[in-house]
Amino acid sequence: MQAASISERGGRQHNEDAVFCCADETEGCFVVADGLGGHGFGEVASRKAVELSEEDYLKNGCRTEPQTLLLALHQTLQEMQQQRHLPHAMMTTAVIAQVSGSLLRYAYVGDSRLYVFRAGAVLFCTTDHSVPQMLAACGEITADEIRGHPDRNRLLQAAGMADMALRPGYGTMELLPGDALLLCSDGFWEPVDETVMLQALENAAAPRQWLEQMQAHLTAQKLPEGDNYSAIGVWIS
């Protein structure tokens, strides 16, 4: 297994994304979190997502289910907001992927995504917890129209969201040699569509090069108010 990560502030003053990427030949844990709330508290929330996952992985490996980690994160962020009397100020999206042998376990909340690529095609993508995704599910817009939708920042769920019982999406999948995983925040997948992801994957010799090719496509667009963007690429051998 090979893995690489990037996390950049884009056109923003601060980077409220955070990533964790740790892997050996047979096991790995990967996290992308995109903080919400402003005034620096989004950064606190995303880093807490990474810290909890990293601490657990270094202690327990892949034994803790990723949805359990997200539920613990949600409770922690709610408690931190209550202590500071700052409701709705410390939230984050997050996607966690654990690979152990050929088994993939994943969990997510919000609109940070996990893609699985196989044999030159998108095999799987998580379903955003967002208003545009809900509209697409109802047939009011197409899946392609999620990108750039005026309500694309309206989330239905996020870790730390006040007065809400978190219901993370989660699942498992058997991986094959040659599969590729991409975990990414919305600041990455909005300007980098699946066609670009696949083209870069076909042309890359390693995960780092794959990410760099997609990043070059993103930065070439010169978005005036570009979001923070983060991504982790994982190749299964």
Could you give the strand order of the β-sheet that contains 27-36, starting from the edge strand earlier in sequence? 17-23, 27-36, 91-100, 103-109, 169-174
Q: What is the reported pLDDT for 40? A: 67
Q: What is the reported pLDDT for 39? A: 59
Domain boundaries, the chain: 16-218
Q: Are 15 and 43 in contact (CB under 8 A)?
A: yes
16-218 is classed CATH 3.40.190.10: no
Q: What is the reported pLDDT for 149? A: 85
pTM: 0.95
Q: What is the reported pLDDT for 12? A: 83
What pLDDT tens digit does each residue of the chain (237 aa) get?
Answer: 999 999 998 888 889 999 999 999 889 999 999 999 765 689 999 999 999 999 999 999 999 999 999 999 999 999 998 888 877 778 999 999 999 999 999 999 999 999 999 999 999 999 999 888 888 788 888 888 888 888 778 899 999 998 788 999 999 999 999 999 999 999 999 999 999 999 999 999 999 999 999 999 999 987 767 789 999 999 999
Q: What is the reported pLDDT for 38? A: 65
Task: Say which amino acid occupies 213.
Answer: Q
What are the residues facing 203 on neighbouring strands? none
Terminal alpha carbon distance of the chain: 5
Q: What is the reported pLDDT for 150? A: 82
Distance CA 60, CA 38 (A): 33
Distance of CA 40 to the CA centre of its chain: 19
